[in-house]
Amino acid sequence: MSNQPLKVLFIASEAHPFVKIGGLGDVAGTLPLNIRELYPVETGGVDIRLAIPFHHVIDKDKFDLRAITSFQIPGIEGPIKTNVFETSLGSLPVYLIDSSILPTSGPVYHTDASIDAPVFTHFSLAVLQFIQEIDWQIDLLHAHDWHTALSVYILDQRRNSNPFFKNTKTLLTVHNLPYHGELSMPILNAAGVEFGDLSKLPWWAQERPFPLGLLAADHINAVSTGYADEILTEEFGAGLNEFLQTRSSDISGIINGIDYQSWDPSTDTALAVNFSVEKLALRSKNKTALLDEVGLSPDPETFLIGMINRMDHQKGVDLVPPALRDVNDLPWQAVILGTGDPEIEKEAKLLEEDFPGRIRSIIKYDGDLARRIYAGSDTLLIPSRYEPCGLTQMIAMRYGNVPIARATGGLKDTISDYDESKHSTGFLFQKAEPTSLADTIERAIDIYNDKRRWTGLQRRGMKQDFSLNQSAEKYHDLYLKITSETTGA
């Protein structure tokens, strides 16, 4: 057994480069491959494979696809035809699970739960059916967030009756706790899923996918140690804090990493000029180019604020207009890039009228422009109300950009607040309030005017290690720990 590779199926709702909406897509598109490369199958490492839904936005022509199996899953209105295609990402096998239930147009996620519930409930059922079809008996199922949490619950329910799953352990990673999912019960009933004792969950959570997964998972981890602690509190526990406290001995935190090859200012082809910590002076050319690109006045000495965000209440974008009004007298310009909630998008756009010539709000998803904002702006504003891990602050630091962020979750874990010491890498503010943000912008501009101190902050940020390897090693250790424990339930 010990020389056999560990068999792990990693399931997620999105994965770059197939489909990426947020940080989950970054993680699912990089972490499994990194684990596979660090712990090769040939030397008894980890046979990890990825499965995601075959969303219509995935460009079929970009990937080499092979149909490997098809089967049916019982559905409310009759059997649902499911086709599985295999492709690869480097050495990582990737399964795209296609079915008649997937929307053929529109966004990947909807605010209307009646669209997303069938998609992700079916996916959760299908991955379990799929591994039986190809007779791949895994040691560990690693699921992420509400979209795939049901597979953890269903697997646990079937463990006793189906020998195929008897020795399979489960890990559920919490990227974003407040999104629980809903409306899955009729679909699960149609598929013949049985339910055990749910009384440990609050009554209102007993029919929701994420809580069901959290109830059943052998281990739970959050995407930073800070967030692992926070989800046990009333403020961040999304109503599940008391339940999660009962599981606290099975909860840990692992900070995500970023792909250092992809996010490298010395080779990034989207930038006007490449630079590195040794050639930091070259960075300023990216600022000039960015100002020119977005049509702001070319004033390279003025503090340039960047923001790259899903426009969601979580991200605290609404704190920005009043905070900027508070520091109206100070010299700054701002470039905001994001999409999401139409109301927040509108507010961001209105900022351009409030601050004529000083702000550009670009409402779209644009990976290359995001790179130029990381490289060209002096600071990245991350005023999140909560931030389980956050990748933008890590990318910012790698690009010599000094983040201003709310002291929460992964932001607090990865940014060291400015003080006179030789450790600080950014600026943190405590309260999700405009005045707290405004004070911190003022503090940052003060230090920005002292070029020696500012360059010190930039250099320290660029030298931090947020590489994927360190998170891949921690996940590997966790996989071994979970799979070596005997099944409790």
Name every residue whose Cβ is closer than 8 Å to that of residue 382 and which is 6 or more positions away in sequence.
307, 309, 315, 390, 392, 393, 403, 404, 405, 406, 411
Give the nearer residue to ligand ADP in terms of CB position, either 356 or 367: 367
Q: Which of 240, 337, 444, 478 binds ligand ADP (CB under 6 A)?
A: 337
| Contact pattern for ligand ADP over residues 361 through 400, marking x by CB under 6 A | ----xxx--x------------------xxxx--------
Work out how close the CB of 384 gets to ligand ADP at its nearest, in angstroms, rounded to a whole number.
8
Chain positions 277 to 316 lying near ligand ADP, rule: CB under 6 A, are 308-310
Give the nearer residue to ligand ADP in terms of CB position, either 32 or 338: 338
Work out how close the CB of 392 gets to ligand ADP at its nearest, in angstroms, rounded to a whole number.
4
Is 172 a binder of ligand ADP (CB under 6 A)? no
- As a whole number of angstroms, the distance between CA 214 and CA 217 comes to 5
Name every residue whose Cβ is closer than 8 Å to that of residue 225 and which is 6 or more positions away in sequence.
252, 253, 254, 255, 413
Q: Which among 16-24, 294-302, 397-405, 426-434 is the span making contact with ligand ADP, rule CB under 6 A? A: 16-24
Exposed e or buried b per residue across 133-147, where buried means at least 16 C-beta atoms within 10 angstroms of its C-beta: eeeeebbbbbbbbbb
Work out how close the CB of 411 gets to ligand ADP at its nearest, in angstroms, rounded to a whole number.
9
Chain positions 403 to 442 lying near ligand ADP, rule: CB under 6 A, are none
Other beta carbons less than 10 A from residue 475's beta carbon:
25
Give the nearer residue to ligand ADP in terms of CB position, either 304 or 389: 389
Work out how close the CB of 262 gets to ligand ADP at its nearest, in angstroms, rounded to a whole number.
10
Reduce the DSSP state of residue 444 to 3 states and report it. helix
Whether the Cβ atoms of residue 52 and residue 13 lie closer than 8 Å to each other: yes
Q: Which among 58-66, 242-250, 360-368, 397-405 is the span making contact with ligand ADP, rule CB under 6 A? A: 360-368
Q: Which two tokens stand for residue 171?
A: 């890990």
Residue whose CB is nearest to ligand ADP in the complex, by number: 23
Q: How far is CA 439 from CA 359, 387, 405, 418, in A?
A: 19, 21, 12, 13
Work out how close the CB of 24 gets to ligand ADP at its nearest, in angstroms, rounded to a whole number.
6
Give the nearer residue to ligand ADP in terms of CB position, either 125 or 405: 405
Is 401 a binder of ligand ADP (CB under 6 A)? no
Distance of CA 59 to the CA centre of its chain: 21
Exposed e or buried b per residue across 287-302, where buried means at least 16 C-beta atoms within 10 angstroms of its C-beta: bebbbebbebeeeeeb
Give the nearer residue to ligand ADP in terms of CB position, either 46 or 335: 335
Whether the Cβ atoms of residue 366 and residue 428 lie closer than 8 Å to each other: no
Is 26 a binder of ligand ADP (CB under 6 A)? yes
Work out how close the CB of 207 gets to ligand ADP at its nearest, in angstroms, rounded to a whole number.
26
| Nearest CA among 465, 474, 472, 466 for reference residue 31 | 472
| Nearest CA among 154, 135, 164, 156 for reference residue 192 | 154
Give the nearer residue to ligand ADP in terms of CB position, either 96 or 337: 337
Is 339 a binder of ligand ADP (CB under 6 A)? yes
Give the nearer residue to ligand ADP in terms of CB position, either 158 or 310: 310
Residues that bind ligand ADP (CB under 6 A): 22-24, 26, 308-310, 337-339, 365-367, 370, 389-392
